[in-house]
Amino acid sequence: MAAESSMTSGVAGRYAAALFDLAKDAGLLDVVQRDLADLKHLIAENADLAELVRSPLFSRDQQTRAIGAILERAGADPLTRRFLGVVAANRRLFALRGMIDAYTALLAEHRGEMTAEVVSAHPLTDEQANALRDTLSAQLRRTIQLETSVDNSLLGGLIVRVGSRMIDNSLRTKLSNLQLAMKGIG
């Protein structure tokens, strides 16, 4: 059962496990995942929505009505709308990002996939992303999904996180290590 997974600790994990079990029973795993990804995107792009989710200053009723209206307008599945209505009514919207991440992790585990977070100095081309995905899949013997982001301060190279492992092959880190080594010489 998903609730026994190590990813289900804490409020966010317990809610995510419950949603995962409901979606699995209803055959809506992918539909709920799409709804959650869309909501996460909306929260990232809208400061007012992010404040609604985070702030305890909004009443239970305000949060419940607002999240319901947003999900209805976004075309979310009734299961997702009802579930997040319960989350809002229970005053747990502050943990929504963690719930979304935990649900995604449970779904990936269910499918035998792993997610690799890749931070690069410049956007990866499709060819580069595919080559990285293939390399990681061969190394880890699992299907890999990439979540990419760009951090211009890296100067060059990549930082890859898969589970608890991190590979920092960025130019920024290499220069920092070189600087530390040079201080040790002088």
pLDDT single digits (tens) 141-152: 888 888 899 988
Does residue 6 carry a pLDDT above 50?
Answer: no
Q: How far apart are CA 36 and CA 77, in angstroms?
A: 10
**88-92, 94-98, 155-159: segment of lowest average pLDDT:** 155-159
Same domain for 34 and 93, yes or no, is yes
* 58-71 confidence digits (pLDDT tens): 999 999 999 999 99
Does residue 96 carry a pLDDT above 70?
Answer: yes
Same domain for 104 and 143, yes or no, is no
Does residue 4 carry a pLDDT above 60?
Answer: no
Q: What CATH code is carried by the domain that includes residue 58?
A: 1.10.520.20
Beta bridge partners of 158: 120
Average pLDDT of the segment spanning 6-12:
68
Q: How far apart are CA 97 and CA 186, in angstroms?
A: 47
Same domain for 18 and 58, yes or no, is yes
Average pLDDT of the segment spanning 114-140:
90
Beta bridge partners of 167: 160
73, 108, 143: which is the final residue of a domain? 108
66, 91, 108: which is the final residue of a domain? 108
45, 76, 108: which is the final residue of a domain? 108
Q: Count structural domains, the chain.
A: 2
Count of alpha carbons within 13 Å of 123, Cβ hemisphere only?
2
Name the residue range of residue 122's domain: 113-185
Q: Are 74 and 39 in contact (CB under 8 A)?
A: yes
Mean pLDDT for the chain?
Answer: 87
What 3-state DSSP class applies to 118? strand
